[in-house]
Structure 1
Amino acid sequence: MDISNNEISGEIPSILGNCSNLTTINLSINKLTGGIPQELGNLEELRSLILFENNLVGPLPPELSKCTKMDKFDVGSNLLNGSIPSSLRSWTGLSTLILSDNSFTGGVPSFLSEFEKLLELQLGGNFLGGAIPSSIGALVSMFYALNLSNNALTGPIPSELGKLARLQRLDLSHNNLTGTLKALDYMNSLIEVDVSDNNFTGAVPETLMNLLSSSPLSFLGNPYLCVNYLPSCGSTCARRNNSFKPCNSQSSKHRGLSKVAIAFISLASSLFVVFVLYVLVYMFLLRKKTKQELEISAQEGPSALLNKVLEATANLNGQYIIGKGSHGTVYKASLAPDRDYAVKKLLFAGHEGTRLSMVREIQTLGTIRHRNLVKLEDFWLRKDHGLILYRYMQNGSLHDVLHEIKPPPTLEWSVRYMIALGTAYGLEYLHYDCDPPIVHRDVKPMNILLDADMEPHIADFGIAKLLDQSSASTTSIAVVGTTGYIAPENAFRPAKSVESDVYSYGVVLLELITRKRALDPSFVGQTDIVGWVRSVWSNTEEIDQIVDSSLKEEFLDSSIMDQVVDVLMVAFRCTDKDPRKRPTMRDVVKQLLDANPQMRSIKG
């Protein structure tokens, strides 16, 4: 039952408790008043109760504990109060719990640690008080969000919080928390953090430095928090983080210097000046030396690693080629048994007027960190080509796994789903967490690389814009993208909107479901995968007629079939001809999570 967003007023009728077959109730975004009827506890089949953004009052009825199949419970943005009843521990399959923006009291319950399948916990904007329980570290499956903000919480962050290694969003802002942020140093999956307006002390962990650089407001309001300016962060952090003192700053009380100290400083300064002059002379002479075409310029990117790569590939000899795409040729360089790299050679019509902007663009791309984006390790630019260095991915591209490897490897639905979800997370990060947002413009299986655990990593983000800059002096305009993945509105013009990425992502979803190419030879006429799937579905509405035959055995589990159909619906929405009707990538992530609420973990 879904009658959300209808300006319905009055109280929730207790007679709803007689609708014994109800599995979902969504009354959100209305004007409902009164309390939550205890009779809803009679709905033993209820899996989803969504009541957010109303004017509901009173406590949570303990009788709701009888809804033992509860998967999603959202009563955020109401006027509810009281403590969180311990009887709700019977919701052992709960994946989403949202109680934010109410007036709950009584502390963060320790029994929440029993929700082993919990993916999202939103408790912000209440009056819970007390300390963060160490038992929260038991929620190892949680990865979408943990929000404890605006709760008058006290004490330090428990070290056990660091066990939430898969968590992507953490909000502890506007509390009275103390101690250091050391526990967060082990949470490498975080893409959003807000610890502002607390009393934290000590250094911001190295793993959070990029988040500090991109969103310094999320760390403000902690007067004794300091920053170690690391080489990996460089001057970017220093420019953006003027509000944070360096951890190694000296106390102002030591103002007087002895004559010996002054003499020592003078000597050191003189030696430093001599050293700088020596380096400048050396660099001037070095630049006059004749360079081979593939030598590395230290002024255009870090050079040591690339020099080794060029040696390992015999100056990019053809025998090391592992792939060719629309953006260039890819080589494999093995520096050690556990150190393999992929180096992409880009060809462009560069000119001196754009070189500086291209260097800055690549440097910006190099600062982007996300578990589902390929990390740029190094780069080098010349007038007519560039080299971009990435870590080599053991399982190649999604295109290889779906279409090229013979015999085709087995791909269970759980693996395909995780590839879809991880790719969605990566695109969501590019669209929402980069400033300015990055439009990929060429989303396709060939640009989705798979590591040893089959976790996806999006490659070539930002490359299309880079190549645009390299051809800025030309008069022709090329359509960026790959045929079969280009949104209809971009058929004759460059794709520059996030909606175009969403369309391309929808095509990737269809390939994951069908294991057919975007332009498969089996399609009759001149249709593509979008037209073929829509045609078959509209005529039959039978998923068996669409899905990869190797998945049909898994359909003995009806929940798997339901997930595939739900993901197919997401793909249909993504590939809508009207870009205004397509979901955002943030919406896509939520829809994918809704398609598989029982997901227990993420690989990696």
Structure 2
Amino acid sequence: MTRFAAVNNSLSGQIPPSLGKLTELSILYLSMNSLSGPIPAEIGNCRSMTQLELYENQLEGPIPKELGKLRNLERLKLLKNFLTGEVPVEIWRIPTLETVLIDGNNLSGELPSEMTELRNLKNISLFDNRFTGIIPQGLGINSSLVLIDFTNNSFVGGIPPNICFGNQLIILDMGFNLLNGSIPPNLGNCSSLERVILQNNRLTGSIPEFAADSNIQFMDLSYNTLSGEVPSSLGNCVNVSMINWSNNRLSGEVPWQIGDLVNLQVLNLSHNNLYGPLPLEISKCAQLYVLDLGFNSFNGSIPVSLTNLTLLSHLLLQENRFTGGIPDSLLQIDRLIELQLGGNNLGGSIPSTLGAIVNLEILNLSGNELIGQIPPQFSNMLKLRNLDLSLNNLTGTVASLADLNSLLALNISYNHFTGPVPEKFLKFLNSSPSSFVGNPGLCISCSSCIASSVLERCSSSSSTKGSDKIKIVLIVVGSVLFCALVLLMLSCSARKCKRTKTDEGPSLHEGSSFLFNKVMEATENLNDKYAVGRGAHGTVYKASLSPAKVYAIKKLDFASQKGANLSMEREIRTLGRIRHRNLVKLTNFWLRSDYGLILYEYMENGSLHDVLHEIEPTPVLEWKVRYKIALGIAQGLAYLHDDCRPAIIHCDIKPRNILLDNDMEPHISDFGIAKLIDQFSASQCSAIMGTIGYMSPETAFTPRRSKESDVYSYGVVLLELITRKMALDPFPENTDIVNWVSSAVNNDYEIEAVCDPNLMSELMSSVEMEEVRKVLLLAIRCTAKEAGERPSMRNVVKELIDIKSNSGDLQKQWKS
């Protein structure tokens, strides 16, 4: 027998070692079955074998080194099993090897230099394993590689400089590793190359120039630290359909040659430092359906010629410096699903033609200088799910939005809207009242509705004519009062009048005295028996006003300073406007001469520290709950770092500042408090912010905190979440949790040595075990000694989401 094939036949059990007696067997296909157990070493006796395919089974254990005896082997396909350990070096010494597909296992170790001597090697796929170390730098010199897929490992070092030496390379996938250095310049000259994925590494330097005969069709270089300009030779990539260079440090203008990419379907250059006007030639990319240029510094007007991109479904231009008006002709892009124009300097009124884009689901016009009323044609956008008009100068009523029954999120805050809020929007008012603030003329007309903390009930005036008269009277009275106020201020200034602040404190925007009295009554004037936590920033008390109204109240002590209360009030009001599902919601505040009180939502499950270390008996924390907590904290921090302007550095991320609600969703507390304390603290040591065990190494040299120091603290919290050990627990050799975990993992990658035993006993599938390993490696990267080597929180969120996605369909996409 020379060939044996039993593919996709529901075979089970182990592969019989007796197959090794078939010395003339040249082809063995047992793929896509349910075979288990180890690969028999006896197969190494089949000296005539040229093709061995055992993929998509349940095989486990190491790859036997005896397979190295198969000196005629050309194809080895062991992908999608549960194989572990290192690939025997004997495998890499088989001179006839052409294809090695061993992806989707739990293989580890480094790649030996022997693989660079394989002259026939064409296809090698190692993705989704645990390989480490430097990729042999001679790879590609002695062979004509066609496919390389090293995605989702932990390779370090640089990309081999001659990887396309044979000029036959078609696919190069090395994303989700720890690669550094620059992209080899000759990659741009590799005319055979069609697919390049280098995303989520640590690559630096510029993007190579592209040859005139470039055949690249797919390029993902996102989430690196690439710099320099977008090369004009990009125009040579006429076959490219997808470009994602987002989340780098690219600068300069987009070259006009972008218009030569007539097959381009997706262009994502977001989160860079690009500037200048958009080239008009971009409108020649007629196949575009996703254009994302957000979070750059583009300026000038939005080109009217963009309306030539009739296939666009996603147009994202937010957070730039565009000026002028919103083009009326956008209605021609009738396939638009998402339109992001927020955070620019756009003026004028909202074009009524936007209402003709009936497929629109997401519309963001926030943070501009728009005036006028909401066009009545908005009522035609019946598919609209998210609408953000906040931070403009819009006027009139919001009645034209009343028929948008598909809305799931609405933000109209900080405009000049007037009149009643449509009754169907009260659900938004209750769930997110901050989305309506800053509109003094808005009111609630529903008589049976619960009173809102941000909007008053509408007056009973019914006549429009009467309403106009009232407006005139109010204008006159307002003018008189304004003049009187000016005279009063001049009088006070002349007499150098000084207001003496009493213990009542400023009442503007503070909580009511009634609520204050209720809180003090509930805590018996902040009696210690109601204290539920103490920290560097103050004491936290539990205030139960009723079974349905339970709050946490933090008392902040600070020195009495001239103007301190007004300054602190501004800071707290700013913090109060911040809303995110993973940030504790600030409900109210009161300021006194030497202390302040801040009212928060109370979290019944306490802090992450309590759940991990204090509660007895120790609560069970399933992996899905730990992952949810890890992701939620990361999302909250990413919001503070990247979506708040200016960015908010927490300075004291630790388990005690992570509160858990009834659904075990995490909420970060004390954000922005460190800045308040630093400005107004009665202590002389206010420069020392943070908690020992969670403070990054560089804080020993400077009191200044950065986003990177928050990332370090987050990494320590992540380690606690997985190991269930406290940061200051005693560890071997008097080390700390960071060095203990790093040392254990770097030695043998056996995560069982450091993970919570209860967690290990729960993990029955290798998929979940792999997720834990990847999150642990991410935590180690977050706690890198050098601040520059830590990922941003935005990248952390992306990686956590991808870790979960990679367990399923995403791997199939990579494979295809």
TM-score grouping bracket, smaller chain normalisation:
0.5 to 0.7
Q: Which amino acid aligns with 1:57?
A: V
* Alignment partner, residue 565 of structure 1: 773
Closer/same/farther in 2, CA of residues 160 and 567 from structure 1, 3 Å limit? same
1:40-75 CA-to-partner distances (Å, cap 9, x unmatched) read xxxxxxxx9737775522375xxxxxxxxxxx9958
Closer/same/farther in 2, CA of residues 475 and 341 from structure 1, 3 Å limit? closer
| Pairs within 5 Å for 1:290-305 | 297-299=506-508, 301-303=510-512, 304-305=514-515
Aligned-partner Cα distance in 1 for 2:712–2:634: 12
- Of 625, 643, 646 in structure 2, the residue corresponding to residue 433 of structure 1 is 643
Tell me if 1:550 matches 2:758: yes
Tell me if 1:367 matches 2:577: yes
1:134-177 CA-to-partner distances (Å, cap 9, x unmatched) read xxxxxxxxxxxx6555997537999998xxxxxxx956899986
**C-alpha contact (below 8 Å) 1:25/1:49 kept by paired residues:** no
Q: Which has the higher contact order (CA 8 A, sep 6+)?
A: 1
1:229-263 CA-to-partner distances (Å, cap 9, x unmatched) read 5896899789xxxxxxxxxxxxxxxxxxx999879
Closer/same/farther in 2, CA of residues 451 and 183 from structure 1, 3 Å limit? farther
Tell me if 1:338 matches 2:543: no
Q: Which amino acid aligns with 1:463?
A: I
Tell me if 1:357 matches 2:563: no
1:375-428 CA-to-partner distances (Å, cap 9, x unmatched) read 211111112211011111232211111111222222222222222222122212
Tell me if 1:442 matches 2:652: yes
Q: Which amino acid aligns with 1:371?
A: R
Aligned residue for 1:504, secondary structure, equals helix
Closer/same/farther in 2, CA of residues 351 and 262 from structure 1, 3 Å limit? closer
Aligned residue for 1:596, secondary structure, equals helix
Aligned-partner Cα distance in 2 for 1:268–1:81: 58
**C-alpha contact (below 8 Å) 1:312/1:333 kept by paired residues:** yes
* Alignment partner, residue 497 of structure 1: 706
In structure 2, runs of 5+ residues without a counterpart are: 1-148, 151-158, 160-181, 223-229, 247-253, 270-281, 291-305, 319-326, 379-383, 395-399, 402-411, 419-432, 441-464, 485-498, 809-816
* Alignment partner, residue 212 of structure 1: 390
1:81-129 CA-to-partner distances (Å, cap 9, x unmatched) read 4596xxxxxxxxxxxx8777896546859xxxxxxxxxxxxxxx89642
Aligned residue for 1:479, secondary structure, equals coil
Q: Which amino acid aligns with 1:298?
A: S
Tell me if 1:50 matches 2:224: no
**C-alpha contact (below 8 Å) 1:178/1:200 kept by paired residues:** no
Aligned-partner Cα distance in 2 for 1:438–1:431: 6
**C-alpha contact (below 8 Å) 2:511/2:588 kept by paired residues:** yes
Closer/same/farther in 2, CA of residues 371 and 351 from structure 1, 3 Å limit? same
Aligned-partner Cα distance in 2 for 1:59–1:492: 48
Aligned residue for 1:591, secondary structure, equals helix
**C-alpha contact (below 8 Å) 2:678/2:686 kept by paired residues:** no
| Pairs within 5 Å for 1:160-239 | 178-179=354-355, 201-202=374-375, 212-213=390-391, 227-229=415-417
Closer/same/farther in 2, CA of residues 545 and 233 from structure 1, 3 Å limit? closer
* Alignment partner, residue 121 of structure 1: none
* Alignment partner, residue 417 of structure 1: 627
Aligned-partner Cα distance in 2 for 1:310–1:157: 58
Q: Which moved more, 1:48-57 or 1:310-319?
A: 48-57
Aligned-partner Cα distance in 1 for 2:336–2:749: 51
- Of 154, 160, 166 in structure 1, the residue corresponding to residue 331 of structure 2 is 154
Q: Which amino acid aligns with 1:479?
A: I
**C-alpha contact (below 8 Å) 2:653/2:710 kept by paired residues:** yes
* Alignment partner, residue 221 of structure 1: none
**C-alpha contact (below 8 Å) 1:513/1:548 kept by paired residues:** yes
In structure 1, runs of 5+ residues without a counterpart are: 39-47, 61-71, 85-96, 110-124, 133-145, 162-168, 219-223, 239-257, 278-287
* Alignment partner, residue 456 of structure 2: none
Closer/same/farther in 2, CA of residues 480 and 180 from structure 1, 3 Å limit? farther
* Alignment partner, residue 480 of structure 1: 689
**C-alpha contact (below 8 Å) 1:170/1:194 kept by paired residues:** no
Tell me if 1:386 matches 2:596: yes
Q: CA deviation at 1:331?
A: 1.6
Aligned-partner Cα distance in 2 for 1:158–1:9: 34
* Alignment partner, residue 10 of structure 2: none
Aligned-partner Cα distance in 2 for 1:519–1:259: 70
Aligned residue for 2:734, secondary structure, equals coil
* Alignment partner, residue 725 of structure 2: 516
Closer/same/farther in 2, CA of residues 376 and 99 from structure 1, 3 Å limit? closer
Closer/same/farther in 2, CA of residues 322 and 196 from structure 1, 3 Å limit? same
Aligned-partner Cα distance in 2 for 1:259–1:369: 39
Closer/same/farther in 2, CA of residues 346 and 30 from structure 1, 3 Å limit? same
Q: Which amino acid aligns with 1:581?
A: E
* Alignment partner, residue 595 of structure 1: 803
Fraction of identical pairs, as percent: 44
**C-alpha contact (below 8 Å) 1:502/1:585 kept by paired residues:** yes
Q: Which amino acid aligns with 1:363?
A: R
Q: CA deviation at 1:199?
A: 12
**C-alpha contact (below 8 Å) 2:530/2:543 kept by paired residues:** yes
Closer/same/farther in 2, CA of residues 539 and 350 from structure 1, 3 Å limit? farther
Closer/same/farther in 2, CA of residues 380 and 158 from structure 1, 3 Å limit? farther
* Alignment partner, residue 165 of structure 1: none
Q: CA deviation at 1:359?
A: 1.6
Tell me if 1:9 matches 2:188: yes
Closer/same/farther in 2, CA of residues 155 and 407 from structure 1, 3 Å limit? farther
Aligned-partner Cα distance in 1 for 2:791–2:200: 23
Q: Which amino acid aligns with 1:315?
A: N
Q: CA deviation at 1:13?
A: 2.3
Aligned-partner Cα distance in 1 for 2:340–2:183: 28
Closer/same/farther in 2, CA of residues 229 and 464 from structure 1, 3 Å limit? farther
- Of 363, 386, 405 in structure 1, the residue corresponding to residue 615 of structure 2 is 405
Q: Which amino acid aligns with 2:624?
A: S
**C-alpha contact (below 8 Å) 2:331/2:356 kept by paired residues:** no
**C-alpha contact (below 8 Å) 2:262/2:287 kept by paired residues:** no
Q: CA deviation at 1:514?
A: 0.9
Closer/same/farther in 2, CA of residues 271 and 107 from structure 1, 3 Å limit? closer
Q: CA deviation at 1:130?
A: 5.7
**C-alpha contact (below 8 Å) 1:103/1:126 kept by paired residues:** no
Aligned-partner Cα distance in 1 for 2:754–2:675: 35
* Alignment partner, residue 575 of structure 1: 783
**C-alpha contact (below 8 Å) 1:449/1:458 kept by paired residues:** yes
Q: Which moved more, 1:355-364 or 1:436-445?
A: 355-364
Closer/same/farther in 2, CA of residues 199 and 384 from structure 1, 3 Å limit? closer
Closer/same/farther in 2, CA of residues 98 and 509 from structure 1, 3 Å limit? farther
Per the normalisation by structure 2, the TM-score is 0.49
| Pairs within 5 Å for 1:266-285 | none
Closer/same/farther in 2, CA of residues 263 and 327 from structure 1, 3 Å limit? closer
Aligned-partner Cα distance in 1 for 2:466–2:373: 39
Q: CA deviation at 1:448?
A: 1.1
Aligned-partner Cα distance in 1 for 2:471–2:638: 54
1:21-46 CA-to-partner distances (Å, cap 9, x unmatched) read x99999994444557579xxxxxxxx
Q: CA deviation at 1:353?
A: 4.1
Aligned-partner Cα distance in 2 for 1:567–1:11: 35
**C-alpha contact (below 8 Å) 1:82/1:103 kept by paired residues:** no
**C-alpha contact (below 8 Å) 1:296/1:306 kept by paired residues:** no
**C-alpha contact (below 8 Å) 1:155/1:179 kept by paired residues:** no
